[in-house]
Chain A
Amino acid sequence: MQKTRKGLTPGLIAIVGFLTVCPVVMLILGSFSEGLNAFGTFTLSKYVKAYTDPAFAEILVNTAVFTIGSAIVSTVLALFLAYLNTRTNIPFKFMFRIISLIPMMVPHILFAVSWVLLLNPSNGMINLFLRQVFGWEGAALNIYTLQGMILVEGLLDLPIAYLVIAPAMSAFDVSLEESSKVCGASNLRTLVRITLPVLRPAILAAATLVIVRSLASFAVPSVIGMPGRIYVLATHIYRVVATGYVTDYGMAAAVGMSALAASITLIFLYRHLTREGEKYVTVSSRGYRPSVIDLKGARYPLFGIVALLSFVLIVLPVLVLFYTSVVPYSMVPSAKAFAMMSWKHWIAVLKDPVSLLSLKNSLYLGVGGATLGMILSFFVAYVIVKVRTKAAGFLESLSFLSFSFPGIVVGIGFMWFFVQTPLYATIWALLIGYIATYLPYGIRPLTSAFVQIHSNLEESSRVCGGGPFYTMRRIVIPLLIPGIVSGWILMATMFVRELSLSVVLSRPGTEVLAVQILRFAEDGLWGRLSALGILMIFISTTLVIIASRIGAKLTKVDK
């Protein structure tokens, strides 16, 4: 037992180290190389070319505006929601849980597409409606703008900001607020003078995290930004390796270096802020209930806003996609539209060999990748929580490194690696890339599950006469099942929808769902796109349901 444990840590460090360090090293080497076929021939020309491009300054400005803008949108919304949920008597509080869970339900690319379908200048449904009903000329609303990108990305990252802010808000010591009120300040004044300043570290942490995410975001910049010719770093890299231009992986790597550096810096800032936040927010141990502010007449109007947000975030995209998948071309819902509905696009998708292949590949990657990823995460989490040597601490830092890497940049790094191996253009390349990039999502729920298993629970079983394996089977595994299941679900749904890494690594024969959807979007085949998109949501949802069922069964079984 002791011996295998000793071997475990170095082995895991080797595997995780390879997964997270390899793409970075290859990215650096690649950025100094002539080209994919001339790996290792040193040159600085790629940097010169990348950073002297006259368009580059504009790209940087766009990136800054886009990321900071989305951070503001999602942080403000998240604050609003978190405040309503933890501090007021708003009705139907379960809605807030749903909002914080949507990232699992609607893939980002589909969310972006549904906004394009509603608001694109030529035939967006809302624009068509405005034209028909009010006789407005041209495009009243145009999604293909920086504002459009910021709005959609901000909504998409809202759950992340919420998950950072809500716990801080509810851990907040209300007596700070109460004493302000005793001093005669109004609710609003208390909010502005006390609550928000005390929560500042959490708010900044949430904003930083959203900036990291929107910097890595590819769905919104590609579906909304590219048609409007608004490029950010991610789409610029994509343009260099995948479209029009002669593909230049060296230059892509050189550009990627700055995205990576920015991400890593921001993640350090984020960790610093969260640590700061823990110092700042005083969590009192007595089991108090935060005093609830009575919203009185504003209760239902405010709830209306929350309901509208959930509708826009969850229901609307699915409705729009489904509607688009059954009408022949973009039109406002009407009697005529209903008369013309058909399964034409669905049939076309189901007959399209590439779409079918992408369905199959994504399903394999989702199920297989999540399973392998969880096995790896299981051992890593075990070492992090239970072994706790210096090496285990190192493994922990290593495994969370990739959390900060933008997918497309990791993709470029892996590209440089896979071209040198027979894995190039196989599904294994995608599998390895996925696990490397999303490993923290598997480890996180498992470490918290392991932490919850107080060592006394195992020890008590040993004293009661249960041997090591009996204890594992009856105590440890059943207690871990919820963590395993939620980690698996998280990984599987992320793999089924994976886009930013796949656009680089996917080759003919290894198409995946999100990439195929992007192709449809580029070709303007909205009907087929929507049909395939609905299938994608269906697959994710089915995986979630099956996994939770199995999890529930396994935890029930006693003895």
Chain B
Amino acid sequence: MEISIKGLNKNYYSEGKTIVALDQVDLTIPANRIFTLLGPSGCGKTTLLRCIVGLEMPDSGEIAIGDEVVFSTEKGIYVPPDRRGLGMVFQTYAIWPHMNVFDNVAYPLQTRNEPREEIVRKVAKTLHFVQLDGFEKRPATKLSGGQQQRVALARALIAEPKVILFDEPLSNLDAKLREETRKELRAFLTELKITAVYVTHDRIEALSLSDTVAVMKSGRIIELGTPRGIYFDSDRRFVADFIGRANFIEGKVASVGNGETTVDSAIGAIACEKKINASPGAAVTVCIRPEFIRVLKGDHKVGRNIFRGRVESLVFVGDAYEGEIRVGETLLIFRIEPTTAVREGEEIALHFDPRHCSILLN
């Protein structure tokens, strides 16, 4: 079901100060897709999610889920969370410690007074779906982090909600388990064809899990797009920086033409093949991600997008070397194959892939 949000505002007041948590948010969350809210800590992701489920009362604006308006200051509508029929997985999982797995999962059905046999059947089916067969009798306190996460998921899914919301559901898991669970979650959600709203501040989670990503900053949605679009084509420095590691090089547009823009910078002229609409003389920033910087061995002359520099540091991180190289005064980060024979202190030549040099307007 589609969720549409119009002009949503929310302020908190604490210790005499006003904190703007949501600032005029307009957003349409497409139906039956995985939608991610991504942003740094404190930018208002949780607040937006809580407004959608109804745990938080916005100061103004309107929220509609499908055709039903669940909140509107204008029309004076507020549907409490228990009548919005949504599913939610909390960051803390919120597994009730005084109940066993069965009661935790069956709870949404019990609130509706469904017949007992029906509940038993659905719980078994849902537990099977999240691969927790036979866990019914287990006390909720005797579950591992990953199992708790699945119980929380089962509980959110059992009543077959049209929309399911996640608030950083993987942040309490260790790195390896987080990766496995992320894949599983993607499989579950794709199979269910359900509208999922997923909150995270982890860019890898956002990129790998979602169909659409919305980047938030200080209570506003500043960019909306597909993971690839956001990663490669964003023309906002904040987004480019937040979504991955990148080098930012200040410069001035020298010439525009033929699908190529040349930027004059401290390290020399950089050719960019990305389209922009800037005229010569405009101050811009060139953004190049470390994986698109290639190291050239041997005596390469300075040429188109080729720069020479000294390797300042080199760190082996397993699947690659990550290093810093100084070109003139500018320090650039790069990432190369672990088998490349480059040493610290060595002078080498670099090549920037012009297809991946984007130009950000200042």
Contacts and interface: CB of A to CB of B under 8 A. Distances in A.
Contact of A460 (B54, B94, B112): B94
Nearest to A465: B111
Interface string B339-355: 00000000000000000
B81 A463 contact: yes
A465 B82 contact: yes
A459 B80 CA distance: 11
Contact of B103 (A456, A460, A558): A558
Nearest to B112: A465
B221 interface: no
Chain A CB within 10 A, most for which of B54, B84, B97, B111 = B111
B58 to A, nearest CB: 16
Contacts of A464: 82, 107-108, 111, 155, 159
B88 interface: yes
Contacts of A559: 103, 110
Interface of B is mostly: loop
B85 A462 contact: no
Contacts of B251: none
B53 A463 contact: yes
A459 B165 CA distance: 13
A454 interface: yes
A474 B84 CA distance: 20
Contacts of B143: none
B111 A460 contact: no
Chain A CB within 10 A, most for which of B80, B85, B97, B159 = B97
A467 B98 contact: no
Interface in B77-126: 80-88, 90-92, 94, 96-100, 103, 107-108, 110-112
A257 interface: no
Give the interface residue-count category, chain A.
20 to 34
B265 to A, nearest CB: 45
A466 B90 contact: no
Interface residues of B, number: 29
A466 B94 contact: no
A407 B90 CA distance: 47
Contacts of A478: 98
A487 to B, nearest CB: 18
A463 B98 contact: no
Chain B CB within 10 A, most for which of A457, A464, A475 = A464
A465 to B, nearest CB: 4
Contact of A454 (B84, B86, B94): B94
A425 interface: no
Given A461-B107, A463-B53, A558 B99 contact: yes
B97 A466 contact: no
A460 B90 contact: yes
A253 B283 CA distance: 82
Interface string B40-81: 000000000000011100000000000000000000000011
Interface of B: 53-55, 80-88, 90-92, 94, 96-100, 103, 107-108, 110-112, 155, 159
18 contacts: A456-B92, A456-B94, A457-B94, A459-B55, A461-B96, A462-B82, A463-B87, A463-B88, A464-B82, A464-B108, A466-B82, A467-B80, A467-B111, A475-B96, A479-B96, A555-B98, A559-B103, A559-B110
Interface of A: 454, 456-457, 459-467, 470, 474-475, 478-479, 555, 558-559
